[in-house]
Structure 1
Amino acid sequence: MRLLYFAWVREKIGLATEDVDLPPDVATVEALVAWLKQRGEGYDEAFARPQVVRAALDKVHVKPSAAIGAAREIAFFPPVTGG
């Protein structure tokens, strides 16, 4: 599975993208975030407030409770604001 990180999520993790093999018990976006937080300090900082970080499965925005299923790409990004 390919993970993409944008804006300050990318800055805290130190990567723009990575390919990972998810454990079998990681079935939702919420579970993925919990798993990522355990991978190191940068991940823990990036997802310290998981309710703020948005996710998209194969370029479709989803809620944290969304099942990952057969998704090939998950993107994480902060909310976008503009003027």
Structure 2
Amino acid sequence: MARLVFLGRLTDLAGCAELEVAPGPLETVLAGLDPALALALLDERVRIALNGDLIGDRGVVLAAGDELAFLPPVSGG
């Protein structure tokens, strides 16, 4: 299994901080999620980190044991 980690407002939208998913292409993983959550995760302002390293490419294929974290834009003043 691979793990999705949701931070900030994405935790509320997902209803949890982490979710175990089957390995595979990110597009396939997102297709299995609630459509509102998947749409929020695809927002270009959401950064992603694969196993702790920020990546710019969303053409990710998750392997067993991978952790993919979604970091929403930070707001505040």
TM-score by length of 2: 0.70
- Kindly indicate whether residue 49 of structure 2 is the aligned counterpart of residue 56 of structure 1: yes
Higher strand share: 2
Aligned-partner SS, 1:2: strand
Q: 1:15 to 1:34 in 2, by over 3 A?
A: same
- Equivalenced residue count is 75
Partner of 1:39: 33
- Give me the identity figure in percent: 28
Root mean square deviation, CA, Å: 2.7
Aligned-partner Cα distance in 1 for 2:44–2:28:
12
Q: Is the 8 A contact 1:14 1:42 kept in 2?
A: no
Q: 1:62 to 1:40 in 2, by over 3 A?
A: same
Q: Which moved more, 1:53-62 or 1:7-16?
A: 7-16
Pick aligned residue for 1:79 from 70, 73, 76: 73
Instruction: Indicate the structure whose relative CO is greater, using CA pairs within 8 Å and at least 6 residues apart.
Output: 2
Q: Is the 8 A contact 1:12 1:45 kept in 2?
A: no
Aligned-partner Cα distance in 1 for 2:27–2:10:
12
Moved >2 Å (runs of 4+): 44-47, 64-71, 79-83
TM-score by length of 1: 0.66
